[in-house]
Amino acid sequence: MKIEDKNILYSFDVSIDKKVEVVVEKKKKQKNKETGKMEVIVSKENQTTTEETPYKMIIRKPTRMELEDGDMFYSVELNKFIKMGLLTKAMLAKQYGTNGGVWTEKEQKIYSELIYKMYQKELEVQQLSMINQSKISERQKEKLNAAMLEMSQIKKELTEYEMIQNSLFDHTADVKARNRAIMWYILHLASFIEGDSDDAVLEDMFEGEDFEEKYEAYENKEESEDVLYKKTIDRISTIITIRYVSGSNQREELEKMMEEMKVEEDQESEKTEEAAVAE
C-alpha cells in the first residue's frame, strides 16, 4: 500500500540495527585425490549478521471519517469519566471562581469566552466539512479555512491559559478524555515503511481492527521493549498531541510549535539549574 504526500501529516527517518541471515560463500583449496591437483572448492552457508535497516515513520492526516470517529471516541470517554464522578474543566473553573480560588473573575470570564468561541468554531467547521468536496463553493472553502485557522488560534490560547492552571485540570474528565482521544489518534495514524526498495509497503505501527486490539499491540510493544517503538514513540506522541491541540495539518506549523516547546523546555531547565546552584 502506497500513500500520497498530500495524505501525510508528518514523516521522519530512523535506522534500526537488525539481525539478518545472509548466505556467505566460502572458498578453500583442496587436493583432488584422482588428479592430484589442487582445486578451489566453493561452499555456501548461512550466517547471522547485523545490518542497518532504514525506516520511514509516517503519521497520516486523519480522514473525515477518522475525525468523526475520533470525536465520537472523545465524547464517549468524556461521558464515562463524568459518570465516574470527575468534574469537567468548565465545572471546576466555575467552582474555583465561585469560591474565590486561584482564578479571578476576569480570568474566569476569559476562559469561559474562549470555550464558547471554540464550541462555535467547531460547529462551523463541522458543518462546512460535511459539504461534499465536489459541491463546495470557493466562498465556503474560504470560510472553512478561516474557521480552521481561528479554531487553531483559540486552541493555542486555551492551551497556554490551561498550562498556567495545569495542576487544576490534571484530573478533570476533559483532560482524561483528551488524553484517551490522543491515544486513539496515535494508534490509528502511526505507520511506517521498512527498507527503501520500490516495493516496500506501508504498515500500521499498531496492528488491530479497533481501539482495544491496537491498544493491546501498543502495550505489547511497550512491555517487550520493541526497538522501533522505543526509538520513535516520543516523537510520534508529541506530533499527534500538538496536532490535536492546535488543529494544524501543516508540517511547518507543527515543526515551529515543536521548536517553541524545545526552547521553553531548555529555558525551564536552565532556571531549575540556576535555582539549584543558588541554594
pLDDT band at 17 (very low <50, low <70, confident <90, very high): confident
In a domain, 112, yes or no: yes
Residue 6 lies in a domain: no
Residue 90 lies in a domain: yes
Residue 208 is predicted with a pLDDT of 95
User: Is pLDDT above 60 for 99?
Assistant: no
pLDDT at 36 over 90: no
144-181 pLDDT per residue, tens: 888 888 888 888 788 777 666 666 677 889 889 999 99
Indicate whether this model's pTM tops 0.85. no
User: In this structure, is residue 120 part of a structural domain?
Assistant: yes
Q: Write the pLDDT tens digit of every residue in 183-241.
A: 999 999 999 999 888 888 899 999 999 999 999 999 999 999 899 999 999 999 999 99
In a domain, 171, yes or no: yes
Structural domain of 82: 64-187+241-258
Query: What is the DSSP secondary-structure string of 46-80?
Result: EEEEEEEEEEEEEEEPPPHHHHHHHHHHHHHHHHH
DSSP type of residue 196: S
Is residue 170 included in any domain, yes or no?
yes
Q: What's the number of domains the chain is made of? A: 1
Report the run of H or E that residue 19 belongs to, with start and end: strand 8-31
The residues, any chain, with a CB within 8 Å of residue 213's CB and separated by 6 or more, are 207
Distance CA 201, CA 199 (A): 6
Between CA 220 and CA 224 the distance in angstroms is: 6
- Residue in the block written with cell 490560547: 157
**Is 3 part of any domain?**
no
Does the residue 138 lie in any domain?
Answer: yes
